[in-house]
Amino acid sequence: MMPAGQLPFSIPEAIVGRLSAARHLTALTGAGISAESGVPTFRQAQDGLWSRYDPTELASPQAFERNPTLVWQWYAWRRGIVDRAAPNAGHLALVALEQFFPNLVLITQNVDSLHQRAGSRAVIELHGSLYRTRCSREGKIISGYSESATPPICPECGAFLRPDVVWFGEPLPAEAFERAAQASENSDVFLSIGTSSLVFPAASLPLIARQNGALLVEINPEPTPLSDQADYALVGPAGLVLPALLDALRAARQTPRS
């Protein structure tokens, strides 16, 4: 048996070598990086109250049209979980990697702000944020609304308010995606962390990086459709693999190459 909290493998030398020589590191994260903080992923069964619902169906404009109260409550429940959660070792390792890569570009599909709370500097949010609310009619970001109705009502036009997140079938914020694609194209090493790689266009970013010569490394305890296309699939939880990657890089930087 392996001791708890220890990876059953070491980080391959070839990854450490490429990382040591890299100038541009780009990371894409998904719900899996927050799993060890206790935030449920999208494609894992939900607990208790919400076990009857499929999150991938609640996250849609159709669901909001059908039952705005249900969708608002689901997001309020998720926000409650995230409020009580703390960044984990995976989030913190990504912050520490900025010491080696001051231009590290961190692209996330998550709406939980845990990267920002951990201290990551420049986070590109592809799917919006649980912590912003907008008018479902006019799209304007609204703060300071009354919570007496569920969903709350836009104080300016009377339409329902909705979370400022990207739902299935909706376009991503164009400027954020453009920056993410650019960073992917320019990267020397690209880390795809804790994402099922099923949702496009986010799932195209590692492929853009790979096509442009980046070393593509996946970090996930489960195989995904990306695994076969990655140069390396590091099988394990982000909270263990990322600190191990950081330690290996630190050790390599301290040991001058002969």
User: Binding ligand APR by CB under 6 A: which of 54, 138, 156, 222?
Assistant: 222
- Residue showing the smallest CB distance to ligand APR in the complex: 32
Q: How many binding residues for ligand APR (CB under 6 A)?
A: 26
Residue 127 a catalytic site member: yes
Q: How many CB atoms lie within 10 A of CB 45?
A: 10
Residue 190 near residue 206, CB atoms below 8 Å: yes
Question: Binders of ligand APR among 156-215, rule CB under 6 A?
Answer: 194-196, 198-199
Minimum CB distance to ligand APR, residue 51 (Å): 15
186 vs 177: CA distance, rounded Å = 14
Minimum CB distance to ligand APR, residue 202 (Å): 7
Q: How does 192-212 read in b/e, with b if 16+ C-beta sit within 10 Å?
A: bbbbbbebeebbebbbbbbee
DSSP-assigned beta bridge partners for residue 234: 219
Question: Binders of ligand APR among 36-55, rule CB under 6 A?
Answer: 36, 41-43
Question: What's the token pair of residue 118?
Answer: 């951990």
237 is a site residue for ligand APR (CB under 6 A): yes
Question: What's the token pair of residue 148?
Answer: 């007496």
* Residues making contact with ligand APR (CB under 6 A): 30-33, 35-36, 41-43, 56, 59, 109, 127, 194-196, 198-199, 219-222, 224, 237-239
Query: Known catalytic residues?
Result: 127
